[in-house]
Amino acid sequence: MKVLLTGGAGYIGSFVARELTARGHAVLVLDNLSTGRREAIPDTALDVADIRDGDAVMRSFARFRPDSLIHFAALKSPEESMSDPARYFEVNVSGTVNLLAAAARYGVERFVFSSSAAVYGTPQVCPVDETAPAGPQSPYGESKYLGERMIESQSATTGMRFACLRYFNAAGAATDGSLGEFAHEGSRQLVPQAVAVARGLLPRLQIFGADYPTSDGTAVRDYIHVEDLAEAHVRVTEGLDRPERSGTYNLGQGRGTSVLEVTGELRRISGAEIPMEFAARRAGDPAVSWADVGLVQRTFGWAARRDLQDILSSAWAWHTGVTAEA
């Protein structure tokens, strides 16, 4: 395959670029390097461009002529999107429109989209499956849902095959310690924050909500190892040779883990204290969100192979530069 990756210099995209290359596929990354880094994809062709720039997008497609597109580039903080919705729609929706235009003009056969569990909002039932109603609770979630709708519509008219992948919480680093998540302004994910506290770089971990109706009162999420995600993207993109496989798929571990379970396991792996401070719940944060992953397994034969311990020991090793004891 010839695969164009938007946002391929970012956290998840760089793992997918590496996995695709290892599988012998040709890869071009299109990224504005706003949060992504050149050094995450040292051996991959890169066009530094913005997906909001329709002409620049067309130029990359004209030169590379991809048969497949994996679209990661986006702003990704639900919280931040509440205070600046227009910016989120501009990047996540207008940017996707530019990519759909280029995909149509250059006859892209497969379109794989980074969607999010944020599309569900507060799931009524967990594990949540893809038939659950959408109920995004932030402009970020709305932008992902709109992206899904636009891609599906284009597929219906052009026959382009597609997969909208609703990721749950991506975390972890390469098992060999060579690649991981770079902290950047606005990154508020639990695992990098908890690791930073365990390393003494932050004074304490803020936990939003200790009174949820869960076993320990903290929110429950589905953490998926970034290497599992990377393998899923390759499997799904390769497997989109059949039109009937087009659709929306959850990507998670298929297991719910509370915030305190994460910090407890990280304390065990690192041997470090993790001072915590409990704050009020954040608006729009569901108590529990974890995935039913049956559909992607049945359709593409993919399932996550790594667990919470793999996630946390690899993240700890990446951030501290040492291999943690499992």
Binder among 19, 47, 50, 310 for ligand NAD (CB under 6 A): 50
Nearer residue to ligand NAD within complex by CB, 157 or 233: 233
Distance CA(183)–CA(130), nearest Å, equals 31
Show the binding pattern over residues 146-185: x = contacts ligand NAD (CB under 6 A), - = does not. Answer: ---------------------x-xx---------------
What does the alpha-carbon distance between residue 104 and residue 94 come to, in Å, rounded to a whole number? 15
Q: Closer to ligand NAD at the Cβ: 114 or 314?
A: 114
Q: How far is the CB of 79 from ligand NAD (least distance, A)?
A: 13
- CA pair distance 142, 302, nearest whole angstrom: 27
Secondary structure (3-state) at 168: coil
Nearest-approach distance from CB 273 to ligand NAD, in angstroms = 26
Quick note: the x/- pattern for ligand NAD over 106-135, rule CB under 6 A, is: --------x-x-------------------
Out of 3, 5, 7, 148, the only residue in the binding site for ligand NAD (CB under 6 A) is: 7
Q: Per DSSP, what are the bridge partners of residue 111?
A: 69, 162
Residue whose token pair is 């060999």 = 176
Question: What's the angle, vertex CA 249, arms to CA 244 and CA 253, rounded to 5?
Answer: 140
Least distance (Å) between residue 325 CB and ligand NAD? 26
Instruction: Report in angstroms how near the CB of residue 56 gets to ligand NAD at its nearest.
Output: 9
Q: What share of the chain is helix, strand, coil (3-state, %, to 5)?
A: 40, 20, 40
Q: How far is residue 5's CA from residue 261's CA, in Å, rounded to a whole number?
A: 34
Q: Which residues are catalytic?
A: 140
Tell me if the bond preceding 123 is cis, omega within 30° of 0. no
Binding mask 53-82 for ligand NAD (x = CB under 6 A): -------------------xxx-x------
Give the shortest CB-308-to-ligand NAD separation in angstroms.
15
In the region spanning residues 199 to 238, those forming contacts with ligand NAD, defined by CB under 6 A, are none
What order do you get walking across the sheet with 288-289 strand by strand? 257-258, 220-221, 288-289
- 310 or 322: CB nearest ligand NAD: 310
- Per-residue DSSP letter, 94: I
Residue 106 near residue 82 (C-beta atoms within 8 A): no
Applying CB under 6 A, which part among 9-17, 150-158, 208-216, 289-297 lies near ligand NAD? 9-17
According to the binding rule CB under 6 A, does residue 145 interact with ligand NAD? no
The dihedral sign for the CA sequence 12, 17, 18, 19: positive
Q: What kind and span of H or E run contains 75?
A: none
Residue-level length of the chain:
326
Name the one range near ligand NAD by CB under 6 A: 30-38, 235-243, 268-276, 287-295.
30-38
Helix axis angle for 95-105 and 54-64, nearest 10°, is 30
One symbol per residue from 82 to 111: x for binding ligand NAD (CB under 6 A), - otherwise; what is it? ---------x---x----------------
> Interface with ligand NAD by CB under 6 A: which residues?
6-7, 9-13, 31-36, 50-52, 72-74, 76, 91, 95, 114, 116, 167, 169-170
